[in-house]
Amino acid sequence: MRIAVCGKGGSGKSTVSALLAKQMAKTKNVLVLDIDESNYGLHTQLGMAAPRDLMEYFGGKKSFKEKQKAPKTSSLGGLTQTGANTGTQQSRFFKSRWSFSDLPSEFVEKKGEVRLMAVGKIHDFGEGCACPMGVLTREFLENLDLGKDDVVIVDTEAGTEHFGRGVDKDFDLLLVVIDPSYESLKLSKKFGEFGNQCGCKVYFVLNRVEPDIREEMLNSVIGVNVLAEIPAKRELFKASLKGEELDLELEEIEKLVEFLENI
Ligand SMILES: Nc1ncnc2c1ncn2[C@@H]1O[C@H](COP(=O)(O)OP(=O)(O)OP(=O)(O)O)[C@@H](O)[C@H]1O
Ligand SMILES: [Mg+2]
């Protein structure tokens, strides 16, 4: 199963991704893929060291950009028109298909059954945009075969850019994290539209829900698609402030996982 966790900046995507991964890892093999080039804290929430950028596996961003210019080849070795998706094209970057056991260990952090990989971060002033990270994310996901007990949870960057890059086309579902803000509630409609366009089911996780605002949050989304209502929890906030692992078990996350496992 491939799950994209998305939402507005600061809505709680990384928190939900980390809690979900830890809960799902009790019964599944989980890979968390960090595609947020400008956040540096997900690994701490999972209690791991920061993984090396997968982009380095391909020689770094500069070399990756060079490879991007090469025409795609068909699986029979012949040339196809650049960019045309014939279904037989071989990746310009991957020589063979990967499953979890092929993931290069020097780019994977692991704790229990949770693996963490990061596509790439912005490290230096003036190094250029993050578009190559978007391309690598798309190709990596296209090239990854999952076994029946494998789950990929993608912690996306804030907002909508990953939809523009077409990263979300291979997901089974989008989990949209909604915090109590006008912007987030507005954006939830847009995420619904993107979900329809890329053929993914869209579900919502309401985050930082408090009794006096619950009704308003529920009214702004399609109620049947709300899978969890996570309360505002001081422990979560404090742990992230100190850069500590999220060791909390929430019944809302347990129920969410139960639902996901039965899809
Ligand atoms: N249910 C919650 N209760 C209390 N605090 C929360 C809750 N969910 C998230 N937070 C806090 O909100 C802040 C933002 O959370 P988080 O980093 O998960 O958001 P994000 O959507 O991943 O942000 P970004 O867009 O920057 O990647 C953190 O300080 C986190 O601890
Ligand atoms: Mg985040």
Q: Which atom of ligand 1 is found nearest the CA of 177?
A: 21
The answer to whether position 126 is within a domain reads yes
Q: Across residues 96-111, what is the average pLDDT? A: 97
The answer to whether position 104 is within a domain reads yes
pLDDT over 70, % of the chain: 90
What is the average pLDDT value for the chain, to the nearest integer? Answer: 88
The answer to whether position 39 is within a domain reads yes
H-run or E-run covering 110 = strand 109-111
The answer to whether position 251 is within a domain reads yes
The string of pLDDT tens digits covering residues 144-174 is: 999 999 999 999 988 777 777 676 677 889 9
The answer to whether position 86 is within a domain reads no
Among 57-66, 105-114, 185-194, 229-238, the range scoring the smallest mean pLDDT is 185-194
The shares of helix, strand and coil residues in the chain, as percent rounded to the nearest 5, are 40, 20, 40
Nearest alpha carbon, ligand 1 atom 9: 12
The answer to whether position 83 is within a domain reads no
Q: Which atom of ligand 1 is found nearest the CA of 179?
A: 8
Q: Identify the pLDDT of residue 74.
A: 52
For 242, the domain range is: 2-62+93-261
Choice from 15, 37, 46, 208 to test ligand 1 binding pocket (greatest atom count within 8 A of CB)? 15
Is the pLDDT score of 81 beyond 80?
no
The answer to whether position 37 is within a domain reads yes
Q: Which atom of ligand 1 is found nearest the CA of 10?
A: 23
Is the pLDDT score of 250 beyond 60?
yes
Closest residue by Cα to residue 259 from 183, 204, 180: 204
Which ligand gives the minimal distance to the CA of 15? 1
Total domains, the chain: 1
The string of pLDDT tens digits covering residues 183-226 is: 988 888 888 888 888 888 899 999 999 999 999 999 888 766 99
Is the pLDDT score of 84 beyond 50?
no
What value, to the nearest 5°, has the Cα angle with vertex 186 and ends 218 and 252? 35
Q: Identify the pLDDT of residue 177.
A: 95
User: What is the Å distance from ligand 1's center to 91 Cα?
Assistant: 35
CA 83, CA 110: separation in Å to the nearest integer? 35
Q: Identify the pLDDT of residue 67.
A: 82
Nearest alpha carbon, ligand 1 atom 29: 237
**Which residues, including other chains, have CB under 8 Å from residue 234's CB and lie 6 or more apart?**
none
Q: Across residues 126-133, what is the average pLDDT? A: 83
Choice from 240, 244, 248, 249 to test ligand 1 binding pocket (greatest atom count within 8 A of CB)? 240
Q: Identify the pLDDT of residue 196.
A: 82
CATH number (domain holding residue 228): 3.40.50.300
**Which residues, including other chains, have CB under 8 Å from residue 119's CB and lie 6 or more apart?**
33, 34, 35, 37, 53, 54, 55, 133, 136, 137, 140
Residues lining ligand 1, Cβ inside 6 A: 7, 9-15, 36, 39, 158, 207-208, 230, 232-233, 236-237, 240
Structure tokens at 152: 């990929």
CA 101, CA 84: separation in Å to the nearest integer? 30
Among 16-20, 88-92, 210-214, the range scoring the smallest mean pLDDT is 88-92
Which ligand gives the minimal distance to the CA of 238? 1
Q: Across residues 35-56, what is the average pLDDT? A: 93
The answer to whether position 186 is within a domain reads yes
